[in-house]
Structure 1
């Protein structure tokens, strides 16, 4: 989409020339002058349906794995681990 920027510039139009007894009759009008133009490009952040379905399937698998892991972890003594980056890498790979 291309847009044009204009600026109104005042101009004078002489209706009647000046004489010895009367001043000139002048009318002011505004003229549009192009100052510049620019283009607008709009991007969409929407994902294709196939990619959305892939992500949803991965989230479902991850939910099931977390439920199973929590059930197993309740039966064992474990040390705390940080796995946030590994989970995000799996989801968005």
Structure 2
């Protein structure tokens, strides 16, 4: 992830992401193996306060997953049921 140029490469491929997707991915990567809660990601996604029932985070996580998906590779973003999300480091299952 090149924050200066706002570029993301995953598996050696340039991935076109929207600004909110970049902020969410940056948050997940910076937190390493720590689970990031939905509320934390909601704060990251926007400076506005949204109703917790809005699926903003889930929508952007879904978009990120689709854009990062490569044939046969496991999902790069892990859902930790009831808690939040984390970015899978290389070799994690």
Q: Larger Rg: 1 or 2?
A: 1
Which is strand-richer, 1 or 2? 1
Question: Which one has more relative contact order, counting CA pairs under 8 Å at least 6 apart?
Answer: 2
- Which TM bucket (shorter chain)? under 0.3
Normalized against structure 2, the TM-score is what?
0.27
* TM-score where L is the length of structure 1: 0.27
